[in-house]
Chains A and B, each alone.
Chain A
């Protein structure tokens, strides 16, 4: 790989040595080997880690679909892009070599060969020039979203699309899929993500916009995790249903042969009285469909040496995925578009994974934990990255706070008003003198006082809705009660379940990490702690996610004095908000 541009100092590198992308891959391999050792009793996890190691080694050796991915990542991991363009060595020019003057005839021959090669390569070129948008929503000229999509589509190998909260990442993914198919009707597209829900949402949305010809090209492996679909066609695109369809089709055309094959060929294991679809069947189905939705860790289930690579891979929520996860997706496609937001939460690590991280040097562990997407994004040239800048979720007073504090004021806001009275953004506070949470160091993080404030507010909201509801018909408001700690989450859930508010409010209680990717009309955030360190919410990404789930109102519940005493930047910003009182 090219080390010529290493004169620029890479950001946040461990001191004392030159640290490049290959080193980072090696650190990941060291870490994964350690986790593998620690989880040897859990076969399922072992398979996952072994697979990640396999793909990382393959990528490190350059045995992935597009070698330009390796070159780009290696270069932009350590070097910031230059305005005059970067020489990453794509053209293979080596000035050190003495060149013999070619005869005119030979020169002509070389030109012909290059022209022919260019023609062949143009067929596989994934840089697509867009005309008009396919989805109507992109006709608004004031919205930069379509410009960003255009730029993503015109990239040849790699693009990073940053989508702050509520900016329509899923809609953008759908537009990119549709535009790719319009330009290259035979293109194979992979939609991958770290979570099932993100994959499901993208395919569900595609089903709404796409027609029958698009539905027939789609497959979600192995099945959908969501149970309610926006489109009636979505459920039918699950791989398990597709498998049933092909066997029925075969039975109709060749009954005897199909019966023989069903008995002779390997079938899946029996689970709950049902025969599971075998892996070979899924691989054949994947060959036969153009748009495949799958989580990063399950990509390997669908591909083997005989499979065709993908022309376009879209990795949704890439900032939540670990490096091996998004590398696995990138490895199987010629062009890769990473969609995510590095200003939101990084990947989460389970107990064994954290234990393995503890065995590594601190700097390595920090890089693995925080991910490197933010650094690569910052270093990439403008032609390989873009940010969606109009948010459609939050009302302007919440959106402006998020924009100013987390996105350098780059976000613009679509919504102006809402259909209910709750549009506050401020505090419900109390004096915690003599009330310690946790009671002792390492104690239970459960704050009854904050639970009381939340339940009281919910009841008050409900009675107000009841009053206004008597005058006019109104919808049920969605409420997200978010807290960083599991113990408080459990206690809140119990308390909320006891309330009689379901007719007017749909309340969900969960941790910040679990809420990423979801939204609600109203958000309550319970800080819980009244003593001890505030490291958990000192992470600005966590506060960004917590607040930006809200469409109309945010209520912060905590002891302002304790929070002020921590003197943390993001919390100080929140402290500038007023205390709320229901009129």
Chain B
């Protein structure tokens, strides 16, 4: 038996709006008004909640009124929902947090704690 680890959004209801905000910022819609105009598919409250989640996880930053998204988010988008199979036997429950942290660091994430704020990992 091998260990499998899968990451899921903690705030499932906001997953679309978090992704949309990240894509929008990367494409240059970096101010409040630009974001709201570029994303009319989303409600203002969900955009705000998404930004709140990103700031809390230290995945977004504002500098001189310009919003930027941490490059870790690109990795987050890649790993979300896709099971990662590890060539190790099943780990005990108490070792799971350590394993998750080690995986996030080894995936190249600079802010593993932030990732764990946004995502929850399921180890099987």
Contacts and interface: CB of A to CB of B under 8 A. Distances in A.
Interface string B32-58: 000001111111111001000000000
A253 interface: yes
A421 interface: no
Nearest to A306: B13
Interface in B15-69: 16-17, 19-20, 23-24, 27, 29, 37-46, 49
A288 interface: yes
A255 B11 CA distance: 28
A305 B49 CA distance: 12
A250 B23 contact: no
B38 A287 contact: no
A261 interface: yes
A304 B15 CA distance: 13
A254 interface: yes
Given A254-B27, A257-B38, A281-B41, 13 more contacts: A246-B40, A249-B40, A250-B38, A253-B40, A254-B37, A254-B38, A264-B19, A265-B19, A266-B16, A284-B17, A287-B45, A306-B13, A306-B45
A280 interface: yes
A253 B23 contact: no
A542 B81 CA distance: 54
B14 interface: yes
Contacts of A283: 13, 46
Interface of A: 243, 246-247, 249-250, 253-254, 256-257, 260-261, 264-266, 280-281, 283-285, 287-288, 304-306, 308
B46 A306 contact: yes
Q: Identify whether the interface residues of B are mostly helix, strand, loop, or mixed.
A: helix
With most chain A CB atoms within 10 A of its CB, the pick from B11, B40, B44 is B40
Given A306-B13, A306-B14, A306-B46, A284 B41 contact: yes
A253 B29 CA distance: 11
Q: What 10 A-B pairs are tightest by C-beta distance, nearest first?
A: A287-B43, A254-B38, A304-B13, A246-B40, A249-B40, A280-B16, A284-B43, A246-B41, A288-B43, A306-B13
A305 B20 contact: no
A257 B46 contact: no
Contacts of B38: 250, 253-254, 257
Contacts of B20: 261, 265
Contacts of B42: 284
B23 A257 contact: yes
Contact of B41 (A260, A261, A266, A306): A261
Contacts of B44: 287-288
A547 B66 CA distance: 68
A477 B97 CA distance: 75
A569 to B, nearest CB: 54
A250 B36 CA distance: 10
B40 A265 contact: no
Contacts of A243: 41
Contacts of B46: 283-284, 287, 306
8 contacts: A254-B38, A257-B23, A257-B27, A260-B23, A261-B19, A280-B13, A287-B46, A306-B46
B39 A250 contact: yes
A264 B13 contact: no
A266 B20 CA distance: 11
A284 B37 CA distance: 15
A256 B45 CA distance: 24
